[in-house]
Amino acid sequence: MSEKVIRRIIQDTHAFDCVECGKCTSVCPMTRHKKDFAPRLIVVKSMDSPSVEKLARERDLWACTTCGQCASMCPYKVDYTEFIRALRAEGAMLDVTPDCSQGGLLHSMMRVMAKGDLEQDRLGWAKPPLEVAEKGDIYHFTGCSRHMAQVFVGRQGIDIGSVPESAVRIMNAAGVVPAVSKSEVCCGHDLNWVGDEDNFARLVDRNVAAISATGARTVVFTCPEGLRTFSKDYPLVAEGELPFKAVHISELMVQWIKEGKLRFRETTGKVTYHDACRLGRHMGVYDPPREVLKAIPGLELAEMENIREKCLCCGVSGWISCDADTKLLQMDKLMEAKRTGADTMLTFCPKCQLHLHCAQADKVPVDRALIDIPVNDFTVFVANRLEEKG
């Protein structure tokens, strides 16, 4: 039974095509710090002793951040991230679950959203002068950044709570009044990556229904995880074809800038940009965020050593397996950002921001001066630099 399942996953993800060149291992951020960890080893183990239960009880299946570095380098297009996800889903069916950060709080919230009849306060921030609508061609997926901000309320310097309103400010400035919905729920990214396919499917159904009811054909995301999940995972789970397409707000911003609809104030300072794995490697959105930053007059963009496909990881994905090695990864990332001399590092992913903030707040194994760079949200940063309407 187990053997058949594993064989199918290996086939589906082309893991048999591997020529053992070792490129995946050489770029894997986990391999840098975790002893005996290598993406290929998980496949080898799964062939040596094909037991889903055994694999799911081991560290390695959950230690992988599914960052996609390995797959982006592999000349034979072995899809390790999907290999890991599929194996986790099999593990979940046997009730093997990982150790999640905050005791699985985010996953619990998602399951409540998947199953309950809720009177959500999802749109409490959508007050005048912000303009939103109940129906429209463009839908704004507000996501869970406010939920996460509430979990970390009181921590200094975290600005993800104002992401939804910042996105609407940008859209309004470009003359777009987006549709929003109170019945929207979490996209389900984290449940999908811990293998809880049942509750993930429930969230998919709810979101597809909520968005369809607005009549939207385009769904705009700020969050890289939402974008990835809607673009790549929803089509596999939803019944029938999705009545809308998912786009990232940075892609629309570039278009609006070109059309002269979006203008920015003169700004001083220097920023660096972190390619969140879901936006970059998973979705290939590398240039639009950089073009937006270049359109802000006076702002300087200082790139890190490793960017785009090679961008270093924030250390955790799916709210699973945050440990001492994760912290070392985060140090690598922060030191690289600090070396650019930028005043702040911007990223679209609310979780990247949280992870890196958390790493800074902890005891750190390096000189604190090497890592103390603020990490801020891209959408919020840009919205605060919009040209004032006269």
Partner 1 sequence: MEAESPSGVAGKAAPGFEPKIVAFCCNWCSYAGADLTGVSRMQYSPNIRIIRVMCSGRIEPNFVLRALELGADGVLVAGCHIGDCHYISGNKEAEKQIARTARLLEILGVDKRRLRLEWISASEGQKFANTVNAFTKEVRELGPAGYGRK
Q: Is 99 in the site for partner 1 (CB under 8 A)?
A: no
Q: 227, 233, 206: which is closest to 122 by C-alpha? A: 206
Of the residues 34, 85, 140, 147, which one makes contact with partner 1 according to CB under 8 A: 147
Residue 347 backbone class (left: φ over 0; alpha: ψ -120 to 50; beta: rest) = beta
Residue 146 binds which one of partner 1, ligand SF4, none, with CB within 5 to 8 A depending on kind?
A: partner 1
Of the residues 12, 16, 22, 44, which one makes contact with ligand SF4 according to CB under 6 A: 22
Nearer to ligand SF4, 68 or 161 (CB): 68
Of the residues 67, 149, 208, 375, which one makes contact with ligand SF4 according to CB under 6 A: 67
What is the footprint of ligand SF4 within residues 28-57 (CB under 6 A)?
A: 28-30, 39-40
Contacts of 125 (CB under 8 A, 6+ apart): 146, 162, 164, 165
* Sheet containing strand 245-248, strands side by side: 138-140, 218-221, 245-248
Of the residues 9, 56, 64, 86, which one makes contact with ligand SF4 according to CB under 6 A: 64
The total number of residues shown for the chain amounts to 390
Nearer to partner 1, 24 or 186 (CB): 186
Nearest distance from C-beta of residue 207 to ligand SF4, angstroms: 26
Q: Is 209 in the site for partner 1 (CB under 8 A)?
A: no
Nearest distance from C-beta of residue 85 to ligand SF4, angstroms: 10
Q: Give the Cα separation of 136 and 142 in Å (integer).
A: 15
Tokens of 303: 């790139």
Name the one residue in this structure whose structure tokens are 């400010």.
169
Tally of CB atoms within 10 A around 168: 24
Is the Cα dihedral 341, 342, 343, 345 positive or negative? Answer: negative
- Residues near partner 1 (CB under 8 A) are 102-105, 108-109, 111-113, 115-122, 124, 146-147, 150-151, 153
- Residues near ligand SF4 (CB under 6 A) are 18-24, 28-30, 39-40, 64-70, 73-76, 78, 80-81
